């Protein structure tokens, strides 16, 4: 009989990729979803045999009941309010879901008495203003409510690991993208705009700070690292990154170059899109996870942009064709 996994954030980018991976490995996969008036499971609707349960990271008692009934072998804590700039608009909600949500899962493990391995999705934003490159020993210097909430989660994993013997590991993920990334994240915003402008569906792209530098990888690669962490004999903390740093400007230019357009003819800058406190540069040193677990990223920066652009060009082409057939374009 295969292993049983439980995911929060199963409908998100990482949750969908991880669900695919686990199903291929023969897992029974469970996840929590929030009740909504409109479907919010488009990233996982193509997957069969998922077990979805209505619950929420704000509902501690519900999580205890679920974990006791499911008795998973592995738990992946991926759910969060994960948009950094938005965390300045809703800091209390971010702290509750991104921070306390992790604590509620850890408490649910403790109270239910199950023996499950626990993965907590950390973020490079925890390092904030610390100079790159950042590794597992780099001090946290958070610059957003989101980063502070993630640091809380990181330390609570350590507390429950030591106090209760829970197998809890932190994966500090640097930026990881895909065609499943939400439209409000800058990478997907850029690739969708480049494609839609090419097809005459959009005139402008509004951006904030394009000089910020990030370590961008492919989400499909990163979920493999998450799984590998829970197959390890001991709980530990690992950086998941590519070791390369590229600016938003580079991502922008590479995306528009893919469709033969000059981005600066279409981009306008909006200060409202800038963060209240900027993080200038993040670059991860993944040498520990490579040495201990043998993981390394497979997708290059250009390969990532190509994947996203090819997908969004396909979407734009379909949209343009529909409008043309309806005599709107």
- 223-269, pLDDT tens digit by residue? 999 999 999 999 999 999 999 999 999 999 999 999 999 999 999 99
CATH class name, domain 4-173:
alpha beta
To the query of whether residue 125 is one of the catalytic residues in this protein, the response is: yes
Catalytic residue, from 27, 76, 146, 154: name it.
146
The mean predicted confidence, pLDDT, of the chain is 95
pLDDT of the residue at 37: 64
Mean pLDDT, residues 300-312 taken together: 98
SS (H, E, C) the chain: CCCEEEEECCCCHHHHHHHHHHHHCCCEEEEEECCCCCCCCCCCCCCCCCEEEECCCCCHHHHHHHHHHHCCCEEEECCCCCCHHHHHHCHHHHHHHHHHHHHHHHHHHHHHCCCCEEEEEEEHHHCCCCCCCECCCCCCCCCCHHHHHHHHHHHHHHHHHHHHCCCEEEEEECCEECCCCCCCCHHHHHHHHHHHHHCCCCCCEEECCCCCEECCEEHHHHHHHHHHHHHCCCCCEEEECCCCCEEHHHHHHHHHHHCCCCHHHCEEECHHHCCCCCCCECCECCHHHHHHHCCCCCCCHHHHHHHHHHHHHHHHHHHHHHHHHCCCC
The confidence band for 9, taking pLDDT boundaries of 50, 70 and 90, is very high
- Segment 181-200, tens digit of pLDDT: 999 899 999 999 999 999 99
The answer to whether residue 8 is catalytic is no
Share of the chain above pLDDT 90, in %: 88
Given this model, what pLDDT does residue 329 score? 59
**What pLDDT was estimated at residue 325?**
85
Number of Cβ within 10 Å of residue 48's Cβ equals 5
Torsion angle defined by CA atoms of residues 19, 289, 142 and 129, in that order, rounded to the nearest 10 degrees:
-130
Q: Is 146 annotated as catalytic?
A: yes
For 268-274, what is the mean pLDDT?
A: 82
Q: Give pLDDT, residue 28.
A: 98
Average pLDDT of 141-164?
97
Catalytic residue of the set 28, 125, 143, 177: 125
Which residue among 123, 144, 169, 178 is the active-site one?
Answer: 123
33-75 pLDDT tens trace: 987 767 778 899 999 999 999 999 999 999 999 999 999 999 9
């Amino acid at each position: 009989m295969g292993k049983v996994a439980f995911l929060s954030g199963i409908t998100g980018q990482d949750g969908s990729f991880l669900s695919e991976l686990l199903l291929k490995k023969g897992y029974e996969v469970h996840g929590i979803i929030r009740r909504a008036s409109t479907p919010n499971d488009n990233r996982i609707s193509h997957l069969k045999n998922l077990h979805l349960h209505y619950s929420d990271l704000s509902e501690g008692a519900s999580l205890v009941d679920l974990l006791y009934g499911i008795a998973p072998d592995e738990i992946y804590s991926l759910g969060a309010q994960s948009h950094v700039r938005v965390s300045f608009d809703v800091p209390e909600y971010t702290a509750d879901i991104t921070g306390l949500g992790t604590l509620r899962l850890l408490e649910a493990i403790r109270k239910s008495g199950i023996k499950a391995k626990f993965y907590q999705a950390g973020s490079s934003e925890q390092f904030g203003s610390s100079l790159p490159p950042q590794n597992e020993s780099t001090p946290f210097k958070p610059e957003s409510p989101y980063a502070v909430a993630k640091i809380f989660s990181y330390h609570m994993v350590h507390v429950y690991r030591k106090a209760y013997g829970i197998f809890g590991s932190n994966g500090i993920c640097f930026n990881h993208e895909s065609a499943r990334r939400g439209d409000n994240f800058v990478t997907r915003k850029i690739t969708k705009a480049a494609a839609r402008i090419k097809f005459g569906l959009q005139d402008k792209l509004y951006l904030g700070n394009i000089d910020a530098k990030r370590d961008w990888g492919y989400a499909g690669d990163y979920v493999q690292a998450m799984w590998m962490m829970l197959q390890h004999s001991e709980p530990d903390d690992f950086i998941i990154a590519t070791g390369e740093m590229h600016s938003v400007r580079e991502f922008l230019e590479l995306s528009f170059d893919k469709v033969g357009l000059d981005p600066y003819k279409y981009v306008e800058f909006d200060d409202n899109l800038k963060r209240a406190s900027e993080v200038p540069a993040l670059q991860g040193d993944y040498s520990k996870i490579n040495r201990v677990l043998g993981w390394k990223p497979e997708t290059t920066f250009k390969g990532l942009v190509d994947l996203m652009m090819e997908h969004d060009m396909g979407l734009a082409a379909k949209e343009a064709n529909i409008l043309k057939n309806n005599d709107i374009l």
